[in-house]
Structure 1
Amino acid sequence: MEINVGAVISANRKQKGITQQALADFVGVSKASVSKWETGQSYPDITLLPILAAYFDVSIDKLMAYDAQLSSTEIRRIYTSMKQAFETQPGDAVLKSIRNLIRRYYACYPFLLQMGLLILNHYDLLPGTSQTAKVTEYVNEARLLFVRVRQNSQKAQLTAKAVELEGYSLLLLQRPDDVLALLGEYVPEQLPADSLIAGAFQQKGDFRRAIATSQSGLMQDLSIIMSQLTNYMTLLKDDPNRLAATYQRGQAIAKAFDLATLNPAVWLNFQLAALNGFAQQDKTDEAVALLQEFTHVLTATKMPLTLHGDAYFDAIEPWLEQLDLGSQSPRVSGQAKQVLADFVLQNPALAKIRTLPVVQPLLAELKQVSGHR
C-alpha cells in the first residue's frame, strides 16, 4: 500500500538508458539524492514530481505507482486485513489505518462502501468514552461514506447498496424522519433479479447455471425472511399470541432448512429475539427452553463464521466467491460470538431468567464463551 515512486523512477531511468547523474543534473539535485529515491531511503520533494513526470513522459499518479481504483480482490483483501487487525491491535491504531486508506482511495466508491460497512460492523471496538458517543461519531462517519457513494457512483447496484446502508446508519443514529425521507414510507415492489437470471440461463439451455442462480436467490431470501421475522418479534412484546405464532413459523422454516448449521448467525439472532420477547411476557418455560437450545448452538458453532452451502444448497459456491467479501463474516468472528453471549448475560429483560437454578449451568457456558469469569 506504500507509494513506490523510487522503483518507478529507477525503472524509467533504466528504460531511457540514462545514468543517475544525468537525471540528477536535469532535475537539479545531487546524484546521491537520486540514489536515495531509488533505494527507498527518501522521496523526491513534491515540487519535483511534475518535473520528473514530464521527463519520463508519464502522469504523476503513474510516477508514484498510484491507482485511485482497487479491484474487488484488493478490496476484499484490505477488508479482511482490517477485520483481523481488530484481534491484534488497539482500536485507535486500526481506526487510523482505516482513515488513511479512505483518504487514499476516496474516489474508489466500492471501497468506500466496504470501509463504511467495516466501521458499522466494528464501531463498538473503536475508541470512545461510551457506546452512545461511539454511535454518534463512527456511525455518522460511515453514513457520510455511504452518502458520498450515493451521490457520486454511476453504478446503480452500488448506489442502491449505499442507500440501504445510509438508511441503516440513520436508524442507528435515531433519525427516523430522515430514514423515511430517504427510503419512503412503503416497501417498494420488487421483481427478483435471480428469477430473471435463472430464466435466461434456462432459455440458453444452461440448466446448471439456472439451478445455481435459483439456489443463491433462495439462500438470500431465507436469510432475509428470517431477519425480517427477527425484527418483527421485537415489535410484539405486548402481543403474546402473535409473538408465539411468529416464532413457531420462523422455527419451522429454520428446522426445514437446518438453519442452525447452515447459517448459525441468523438463527442465533432469531432465537435471541424470541427469548427476549418470551422473557418480557413472563413465559418462563418457553424462555428456558429457548436459552438451552441457543446456548447449545452458540457453544458448538465453530469460528470463524463463514457462509457456505450444504446438501440442499450444493451449487452456490461460485456465487459466494463473487460476493464483495466472499464467504467470510463481515465482523470479527470471536467478537460476534461474545456479543451474542453478552446479550443473555447482560440484558436487563432477562434478569429474572438468570436467577433460575436451571439456567445457572447455561450461564456458566456463556460466560466461558464471552470470556467472563
Structure 2
Amino acid sequence: MSLQIGTTVAQARRAKNLTQEALADLLGVSAAAVSKWETNASYPDITLLSPLARALGLTVDALLGFRAAPTDEELKKITAHLREIFDGQGFAAGRDALEDVLREYPTSGAFKLVAGGLYYHYLASALLQADDTGQTAEEISGRCLQLFEQGERECTDVREKLSAQMLRINTLTMLGRYEEAEQLIEALPAKQVVDPDVLRLNLYLAQGELDKAEQLARRSLLSRVTDVSGALMSLSTVARRQHRFEEAAALINAYTAVDTLFGLDRSNGEMLRLMLALDQGDTAAALDALDRYIDARLAYTLDYRDNPFFAGVQTAVPSPREIAAAQQLTLRSLEEDESYAALRGEPRFQAALDRLRAAIPPDA
C-alpha cells in the first residue's frame, strides 16, 4: 500500500505558512524535492523523516500516517471495501486485498477477527472455483483458525477475546479437531448468573434511553431465537439418528414454527424434513420436502432489515453474488452427496434440480 506522505506534508506546510522553498531551506534540500514529495512522485530519505516532522510540527508517526490498528470507523470502512471486492471481483481478488490489509496492520487483533470472518463468509465462493473442494475448505478453515488464534492473543477487549474463542471452537469443530475444541470449551469463563445485557436494558429503560433499549432488545431477541432454533435442530438430529422419528418430526415442526413466527429463513427446516423422510425411506415425502426446500433456497436472502422483530440490527446482508454461490453449492450437494442417492432416479428430483439450476445467473 502506497504512503500518502505528500498530502500530509503539503497540508502541514500550508498550515505553518511555509513555501516549498522555505521548507526546502530548513531541510537543506531543493524545492523540487519538496514538490516531488507533495505530489507523491518520490518519498523523503529516511534520514530526513525526523527533521521534516519537526519542521512541520508533527510526529514521525503522524507524518507517515502510522497507526498500529485501524479505528472502529476505519475498520467498518475497510470491511465494507473488502466485501465489495469479494462480491464484485471474486474470492481470489478479495483474498489478495484482505492479505494486503493484514500486512498493513500485522498486530491488529480486531482486524484479524474480521479477516477470519470474511474468509469464512466467502468460503462458498472459494469452493465453487476449487478443483478439490475438500482441500480448499481445509486450507481456508486453517487460515481462519490461525487468524482467530492471533486475534485472541492481540485483542485487549474482553468481548473480542471471548468472540475469538468462540470462533476458534467452531472452526476446530468444523476441522474435526474435537479434543482441542473441548479443551477450549472447558477453559471458557463460567456462565454468569445474570446477563449484563438484561441489566443494561433495564438501565436504558429507567433512563428513558428508548432507542438504545430498543436496539439492545432486538439484538437480544435475535440471539435468543437463534439459540432456540439451534437447540431444536440439534435435538431433532439426535432423535432422527436414534430412529425416534415421531419425536424428530415434532421437533422439526417446532423448529419451523419458530422460523415462521419470526420471519426467518425456511430452508433449514425443509432440509430437516427432507433428511427425516430419507431416513424413513419415504420417497414421496422426501420429494415433497425437496420441492419446498428448493422454493426456500430460491427465496433465500437472509435480509432481515425490514423484519419487524429485528429491524435495525442487521448491518450487512448477502450480496447477489453470495446468494448465487450458495445456490450453486446447494446444487452441487444435491448432485453429488450420496445422501440423496435414493432420489436421483426420480423425475421429480431432476426437475427440482433443473428449477434450481435455471435460477442461478449464468455469470455467477
Q: TM (normalized to structure 2)?
A: 0.84
Which of 201-210 and 276-285 deviates more? 201-210
2 CA distance for matches of 1:357 and 1:187?
Answer: 53
After TM superposition, give the deviation of residue 209 of structure 1 in Å.
5.5
Match of 1:366 in 2: 356
Tell me how many residue pairs correspond in the alignment. Answer: 359
Post-superposition CA distance 1:303-349 (Å, at most 9, x none): 5x4233534x1xx43444xxxxx142499333223323433333221
Distance 2:8 2:54 in 1: 14
SS at structure 1 position matched to 2:241:
coil
Q: Are the counterparts in 1 of residues 229 and 258 from structure 2 also a CA contact under 8 Å?
A: no
Determine which of 208, 217, 220 is the counterpart of 1:217.
Answer: 220
1:165-212 deviation line (CA, Å, top 9, x unaligned)? 111121222211111111129995454444333333344466775565
User: What is the distance in 2 between the residues matched to 1:48 and 1:226?
Assistant: 61
Q: Does 1:336 align with 2:336?
A: no
Matches of 2:94 and 2:329, distance apart in 1: 20
Q: Answer whether contact 2:144 2:171 (CA < 8 A) is retained.
A: yes
Match of 1:317 in 2: 311
- CA displacement, residues 344-370 of structure 1 (integer Å, 9 cap, x when unaligned): 333221122132123332121112234
- Are residues 1:227 and 2:230 paired? yes
- Aligned partner letter, 1:335: A
- CA distance in 2 between partners of 1:45 and 1:131 (Å): 48
TM-score (norm 1): 0.82
Give the distance between the partners of 2:130 and 2:298, measured in 1 at CA: 30
Aligned to 1:142: 144
Q: What is the deviation of 1:140? A: 2.0
Q: Distance in 2 between matches of 1:37 and 1:292?
A: 64
Structure 2 residue 100 is the aligned partner of structure 1 residue 100: yes
Q: How does 1:217-296 map to 2 (within 5 A)?
A: 217-242=220-245, 244-258=246-260, 262-264=263-265, 267-296=266-295
Aligned equivalents of 1:370, 1:3: Cα separation in 2: 42
Note closer, same or farther for the CA distance 1:249–1:236 as it changes in structure 2 (3 Å cut): closer
* One-letter amino acid of the counterpart of residue 103, structure 2: R
Structure 1 spans left out of the alignment, 5+ residues: 321-325
Q: Tell me which residue corresponds to 1:179.
A: 181
| Post-superposition offset of 1:160 | 0.8
Alpha-carbon separation, structure 2, partners of 1:299 and 1:36: 55
1:370–1:343 distance in 2 versus 1, CA, 3 Å:
farther
Q: Any residues of structure 2 matched to 1:289-308 within 5 Å, and which?
A: 289-301=288-300, 303=301, 305-308=302-305
Contact conserved, 1:112 with 1:149, CA < 8 A, in 2?
yes
Describe how 1:198-217 pairs up with structure 2 within 5 A.
198-204=201-207, 210=213, 213-217=216-220
Preserved CA contact (<8 Å) 1:3 1:66: no
Q: For residues 72 and 280 of structure 2, what CA distance do their matches in structure 1 show? A: 47
Counterpart Cα distance in 2 of 1:342 and 1:361: 15
**Whole-angstrom CA distance in 1 between matches of 2:289 and 2:98:** 39
Note if contact 1:280-1:349 (Cα within 8 Å) is conserved in structure 2.
no
CA distance in 2, matches of 1:101, 1:343: 34
In the TM superposition, residue 114 of structure 1 has moved relative to its aligned partner by: 1.0
Deviations 1:11-63 (A, max 9, x none): 11222233323333444443222211111222233443233223323222211
**Matched residues, percent identical?**
23
Are the counterparts in 2 of residues 167 and 183 from structure 1 also a CA contact under 8 Å? yes
Tell me what 2:89 maps to.
89
The Cα of 1:85 is off from its aligned counterpart by: 1.9
The one-letter amino acid of 2:332's match is: D
Unaligned runs of 5+ in 2: none
Q: CA RMSD in A?
A: 3.2
Shift of the 51–247 alpha-carbon distance from structure 1 to 2, 3 Å rule, reads farther
Q: CA deviation at 1:100?
A: 0.9
- What CA distance in whole angstroms lies between the structure 2 residues aligned with 1:341 and 1:72? 38
Paired residues of 1:226 and 1:250 also in contact (CA < 8 A)? no
Between the aligned partners of 2:359 and 2:236, the Cα distance in structure 1 is: 26
Closer, same or farther in 2 for the Cα pair 1:76/1:368, shift >3 Å?
farther
